[in-house]
Structure 1
Amino acid sequence: QIASASNPRTSTSIPRGLGCADHSPRKKLILHMDLNNTILVSDTVTGQGTVAALDYFLTTVTWGKMSKHVTPPGKAWEGREFAIVFRTFGTDLPRVLKAMSRVVNEGAHPLFPDLPELKVRQLRVDMTPGKIRCTKRGVVLSRAEERVSTRDGERGLYQYLSSVQGLGGFQDHFDWWATNTFSIRGGKPLWIDPFDQNVQHVFIDDNIRQNDEDTIVCPKVFLEPGGHNTRAAGTAELYDISLVQTDLLRAISDRSYFTQRVHICLENYERNLWNGTA
């Protein structure tokens, strides 16, 4: 077991199988990121605008003194290949991808105006939104002419998501989540291969909770190297390892918030590799 980063006095179970991968500090990082209350404050599913969404969020949290100090981001991903996959139930993905393209290519973000000068290959934006649809028969991922289904094995979807480049996004299946009473069973699917020596996936979403009857991501962990069979994993098992619940107030006030949380996941993942048992 390891201490949870969000609460050092509690512990998180080691995911079975995490002791079998290597200890490379430069695995490719795939960041799956929600939109609403994670990187923007609005919700197209509920029809909430920025003011209404922020007001709703503030009614659900208790908070005290806040610092106005903003910490500049460090060179967090220097030397590491990464990709960002936006995952949303809403219809705002095309608008977000368009905005991100302006940020990357035109320096339109006021806090990061120098991005175009960096010419970072990993920041290229795929403007074509994809879809992920779930049924009792399985999961289908599609984007433009690309289509991958679990009917051909879950390994194919994992390989597809592990191979993505730059920034892109998929609309997940809200109706499936609702049909499954907003529980882990109908959540946004995330495949994790603890034996993969080259890739690590991290999902960041404000609705990730350590209550599997009220959470938004459905993790599936492969059972053997290169295998096709997976097992369902609980949120607590992967919390602060592959799953992060967004703290919106900190995300707004601290520019290095996401960097810090991802580093916690990277460190906890490596600690599990060293201390875990198959």
Structure 2
Amino acid sequence: MLPIMFTGPMRVIPVFCIVTLLLLTYDKRLEAEPLPKPTKADELKQLNDPTLLVTHVSLESEWDQFKDGAERANWTFTGLWAWRVSDCQDWAIRFTLPFVYDRTDRGSGHRDTGGLGDVEFGTGTAFRLNDKWRTAGGIELHADTASDPAFAENVWRLKWGWGVAHDFTHWFSLTANAEYNRSIAEEDNVRPQSYLDMAVPATLILPQHWSVSAKYRTVLDFNNGDRWAHTLTAGIAKRLKVPVVLSATIEKPLSSGTRRFQLGLTVVYYFR
């Protein structure tokens, strides 16, 4: 019998491990074959849909406004390389490198800081179940590599992710994603991390290669009294004549916390 009857976060760990292992062992050949060219609609949906693995590089800029007057800017470079495994399966590896700049409130007496943040790298696979349903899963490592303790999380953390997407029509799709995060090493007496991150994004494809999206996200923190946090995100994107997608988002926390809102701007270049 599989050991999934645990309480709290231990109930989630084996489930995510089992799902990830099943996905990773589905096809052992891993013969690299070129991916077919994605449609322009796929490139727009890929912004919120992890079941669409398309080779690309991106630069994401985020600006956070906090209630105490402090601000944080993040510039995150991401590279993803995907290849075809079979007619219904793709594989990918991903690397993420952030640069962070913190500007504190002038009256706080703290200095502004900037530098490299914690890098992440991982691998995953996606399956096309039919012409309307897709699923994907993977594992990612968050490394404690920040150049300044002001914006370092001081943890090494593993993340197991799984998602399902459905195209209701050629112009509307809905995705459900779940990621379980658990720290495997902590620095400087940081408390262990164990939380479940779930999101439901929807994408509406518009004429002239535009799209709008909305996403509800909730996080369950197992190490903080099973506390829930909720956010809503709205976005708009445009696919240019060249294989580049520009997108802008605004995120608003629905729960009490230090952050007021977050603005984001992303540039994605797709290799064809």
Larger Rg: 2
What's the TM-score, normalizing by structure 2?
A: 0.27
Q: Which has the higher contact order (CA 8 A, sep 6+)?
A: 1
Which protein is richer in helix relative to its size? 1
Which protein is richer in strand relative to its size? 2
What's the TM-score, normalizing by structure 1?
A: 0.26
